[in-house]
Structure 1
Amino acid sequence: MALTNKEVIESFYSAFARHDPEAMAALYHDEVEFSDPVFETLKGEQARNMWRMLIERGKETLSIKFSNVQATETNGTANWTADYLFSSTGNMVHNVVSASFEFKDGKIIRHADYFSFWKWSRQALGTAGLLLGWTPFLKKKISEQAKKGLEKYSKSKV
C-alpha cells in the first residue's frame, strides 16, 4: 500500500533522525530537486549524496526533530531542527528549518529547506558568521565550499 504524502514526509524525517540516508533517498523521486541557503540547488543523486554526507559526517552529534507535518495530494510542509557539531570549527549548531515539498508518483520531487543563513553562520562560524553572515560574500563562499565538499564526497563513493 502506498504511503500518503504526509507519511512520506514523516518517513523521510524519521529516517533522518535514525541516521538512515538510504531510506531518505528512497523517498526522493529520480528527478528530485533540493534547495537550501547553503547548497543552493541540487538535483537527483547530488541531493541524495548531500544527505548521505551530512549523516556520515555528523553521526556522533546529529540530532533531528520534526513537527507540524502537513500535506495535500501535491504539496507538503514540515518544521524540523538539527543539532550537530560543525566540524570545521567545533561549534555546536541548532538549526531551525521550515521545509516545503512537492510530490510526483508518491515520492518527493521538490524539497526546499528555509532557514536564516545569518543565524546558522553565527553558530557554525562564530565571530566571522556574526560579523559577515549577512553578506552575500560569505554566503557565496560557504556555498562554494559546501558544493566542493559534496563533489569530493560523491567522487569518493563511486
Structure 2
Amino acid sequence: MKVLVLGLLAWFTVACQPDAEKKKMPENETIARQVYERFNAHDWEGMAALYSDSTEFKDPAFGTKAVMQSRKQIVEKYAAMHKETPDIHDEITGVYPSGDKRVIVEFVSSGSMPDGNKWELPICTVFTIEKGKIIKDYTYYDQE
C-alpha cells in the first residue's frame, strides 16, 4: 500500500507540472523553427547562420541531385527570392523530430508575384542537424 501511495504522489507531482517543464523542445526542433522565424523576418544572414559553412541542399530548383551551398549562396538565393516576392511568408503546419539528427517540417509558402497574383505552395523539408548546425536541407514540393 505504501508503494502505491508513493507512486500516486510521484505521478501527481509530474502530472501537475506545466507542459514547458515536462518536456523541453529538443534543440534540433528549435533550430528548425528558427529557420522559419528568420525566413519570415527576411533575415537572410541570420537564417544562413543556422546552416553549416557548406550545406548539402536537395531542392527541385537545383534539379534532381544534391548540391553544396555556402552561407553566402544561401543568402543570395533567398534575397533573390525576396526580391521577386517581397511578401513571401512560410506558415508551419507540422514539425516532426525524427531520430537524433533529423527534423521534418511541413509548411505552406505564400506570397504575391510582381503582377499582383497571389500564390501558395505546400512544401516539406527534411533538415539534418549536427553539432547545432544544419548540414542537409532536403526540400520537396510540386513544381507544376
TM (norm. structure 1) is 0.64
Q: Which runs of 5+ in 2 are unaligned?
A: 1-25
What CA deviation, in whole Å up to 9, does each residue of 1:38-80 have, x standing for no partner? 2333511323321222224322x22221131122321110011
Amino acid across the alignment from 1:113 = T
Q: Does 66-75 or 18-27 show the bigger shift?
A: 66-75
Aligned counterpart, 1:25: 48
What CA deviation, in whole Å up to 9, does each residue of 1:121-146 have, x standing for no partner? xxxxxxxxxxxxxxxxxxxxxxxxxx
Aligned counterpart, 1:50: 77
- Pairing 1:93–2:119 present: yes
- Pairing 1:38–2:61 present: yes
Q: Root-mean-square deviation (CA), in Å?
A: 1.9
Aligned 1:119-130 pairs, distance under 5 A:
none
- Pairing 1:67–2:90 present: no
Aligned counterpart, 1:111: 137
The secondary structure found in structure 2 opposite 1:38 is helix
Q: Which runs of 5+ in 1 are unaligned?
A: 119-158
The secondary structure found in structure 1 opposite 2:61 is coil
Amino acid across the alignment from 1:47 = I
Give aligned pairs, total.
Answer: 114
TM (norm. structure 2) is 0.70
* Contact 1:21–1:55 (CA under 8 A) maintained in structure 2: no
**Larger helix share, 1 or 2:** 1
Question: 1:32/1:49 Cα in 2 relative to 1: closer, same or farther (>3 Å)?
Answer: same
Say which of 81, 92, 108 aligns to 2:108: 81
Aligned counterpart, 2:128: 102
Q: Highest CA radius of gyration, 1 or 2?
A: 2
CA drift of 1:85 comes to 2.0
The secondary structure found in structure 1 opposite 2:100 is coil
Question: 1:75/1:34 Cα in 2 relative to 1: closer, same or farther (>3 Å)?
Answer: same
* Contact 1:22–1:52 (CA under 8 A) maintained in structure 2: no
